[in-house]
Amino acid sequence: MKLVVGLGNPGSRYETTRHNVGFMAADLIGDEMDVSISQKFGKSLVAEAHYAGEKVVLAKPQCYMNRSGLAVKEIASYFNIEAEDMIIIHDDLDIDFGRLRVRTKGGHGGHRGIISVMETVGSEGFVRVKIGIGRAPGEMDPAEYVLSAFDAGEWDIMKETLQRACDAVLCLLTEDAETAMNRYNCGVLSDS
């Protein structure tokens, strides 16, 4: 059994912000599996699906980003899922806009959702699918930047990036992390 978690903040105010690309990617994965991540389960919205012969729990924590680990641990404990069977999808300021990076472990890079998951689950051994949102422009506060919406040009690129993130997760479920990293840890999508 696998647990796929998209990180974000709950509520319509945050729905289309950079910090919520994890939620957006999770919804695309749900579409691919023909399920809606809408069933209330503790601190999350979840859906259960089967994909390539594997049971998969898709989740979107409904607590704020810096408390995401509480929701992840609640699901993992209930379904008896170990860290190495978790895939966490999240935004990353340190990755160029429109780029993906699949990682099997590592540090948190200052991402408060990942910090919360690592502390609460007690492991860094989960797979991450990092969606690059790039650095805040000029003197803009990074906290303000991650809670801002995409402009039209950015959204065109991000839609493609989110689909690639979805494809990367499906690859992780059907093949392995090395294949996913080789296939998806490359190139920035752009108009040029």
Residues known to be catalytic? 19
β-pairing, 44-51 vs 86-92, is unpaired
Token representation of residue 140 = 């803009």
Long-range contacts of 43-50 (CB under 8 A, 24+ apart): 43/67, 43/70, 43/71, 43/74, 44/71, 44/74, 44/75, 46/75
CA distance 52 to 10: 30
**Residue for token digits 């919205």?**
45
Torsional class of 139: left (φ above 0), alpha (ψ -120 to 50), beta (otherwise):
alpha
CA distance 182 to 64: 32
